[in-house]
A and B are shown apart, each in its own frame.
Chain A
């Protein structure tokens, strides 16, 4: 496949901009809409997503190619990936709680949310479909996470400004947020010609 020949850097930047998982694949929407009221919490959630996305793409890569493929269990990948993500998040939560209560304060309340973030599962599934190598998968995971954080940070900033804006009543809250997300997706389409993966 020619995609496997794509360089790690290209995949990384593509994941951040042209193939932003949130704004081109519309994955991870629920936490994007719910936690983007302020830049501060957006940042916390964004950092947690970067970390979990990068680590679980590597973990799931190993689980997929060294456990599921040899035993011909690839059709179970959805459930297995979710279990791996959930267990990993739990473990990380315990470690952070122990090692750095301060970091736990910043990330702690967001980590459980991420377990059910579809963007994480999406990255793991895309890397299989696109037949990435381990390094490419990790780059894709990290890039996807950073792209997701950029999007939620932008949304957090916009929504913070929006507090003072006169918004028609029926559009307050999720309504206007979805409209903004749509506009942001249009803006991100401007990147689309630059690099092409997929």
Chain B
């Protein structure tokens, strides 16, 4: 009996000593004190607690570096330039970096630990990215598989974005998924209304975010968004504008159209908007109304497979068919394409063939 007690006591004491040793070591070795982050040649100076990852430290300070995987080192979005203090390149980073980027000191901020003072270079537009708490004020079905979601922002300043940009919607833990994830959606509302954000969300079979929005999200519910991101925006020039969209790809195009209407931009503008059936087209009235508001705007809806029972007097065929008939010579035009990757690819091919230079074809693929 005594033997047993001694055994238990000695072993427990031994394990406790080891645990204590590790705790002490962790407190002593894992402590880096306060570290100084100098961003863009001293434009921004931050003081953070060392020891954590650079990504976490920056997000803590309200600088939202894009990251889709949440710091696991599997998406490669959280790149930024660490000019000094980043230490050696890690094997976990190399798969995501091009040789040019490595030469330029580009690093994955989720893999680097803040151990000392760092000199960083962060694109200034990332400073505009913030987290917003929003409340769903309107939810309705646009088509059988596209949901309209209108979110109201509490933030007094609202979300300052450029028409065409997107936000990341934070999908909370819910029945289908036991971790919170982010998904990107383009903003469909006008940039002049920074306190509300509208999204078109297509149902994806077994999609975590779209299932949440379609089946579990209710009016009055709160949801967090982060943004704005992206560079799919209207470029200033006097070229003729071609807007091309299918499905929920209409979202950023709507935002751009509101901008054209509000700023009274006098460029010749055409929207080719395609769907399979009449029931898949939405926002038709809204678009016809915009036709009245914008001086040189022409709206062309087209159906690739109109059914005999549907009364349809608009165009027939895919967006590419319509574009092929409309555009003879690509000079003096620029195009903005948004929708499924296949549609975007086909349009780019056609437009290039028509003589539009690749640098004047802007696109956003919805995957």
Contacts and interface: CB of A to CB of B under 8 A. Distances in A.
Given A67-B10, A101-B88, A94 B18 contact: no
Interface in B1-58: 3, 6-7, 10-11, 14-15, 18-19, 21-22, 25-26, 29-30
Interface of A: 63, 67, 71-73, 76, 80, 83-84, 87, 90-91, 94-95, 97-98, 101-102, 105, 109
A73 B29 contact: no
A95 B10 contact: no
17 contacts: A63-B14, A67-B10, A73-B7, A83-B14, A83-B18, A87-B18, A87-B21, A90-B22, A94-B22, A95-B25, A95-B29, A98-B29, A101-B87, A101-B115, A102-B87, A105-B90, A109-B91
A94 B21 contact: no
Contacts of B115: 101
Nearest to B13: A67
Contacts of A91: 21-22, 25
Nearest to A70: B10
A67 B14 contact: yes
Contacts, number: 49
Contact of B11 (A76, A94, A105): A76
Interface of B: 3, 6-7, 10-11, 14-15, 18-19, 21-22, 25-26, 29-30, 87-92, 113, 115
A105 B94 CA distance: 12
Is chain A's binding surface mostly helix, strand, loop or mixed? helix
Given A83-B15, A83-B18, A94-B22, 18 more contacts: A67-B10, A67-B14, A71-B6, A71-B10, A73-B11, A76-B7, A76-B11, A87-B19, A90-B22, A91-B22, A91-B25, A94-B26, A98-B29, A101-B88, A101-B115, A102-B87, A105-B90, A109-B92
A94 B29 contact: yes
Nearest to B31: A98
Contact of A105 (B3, B6, B18, B91): B91
Nearest to B88: A102
Contacts of A84: 18
Given A71-B7, A76-B7, A102-B87, A97 B29 contact: yes
B87 to A, nearest CB: 5
A89 B186 CA distance: 48
B102 to A, nearest CB: 14
Contacts of B18: 83-84, 87
B105 to A, nearest CB: 16
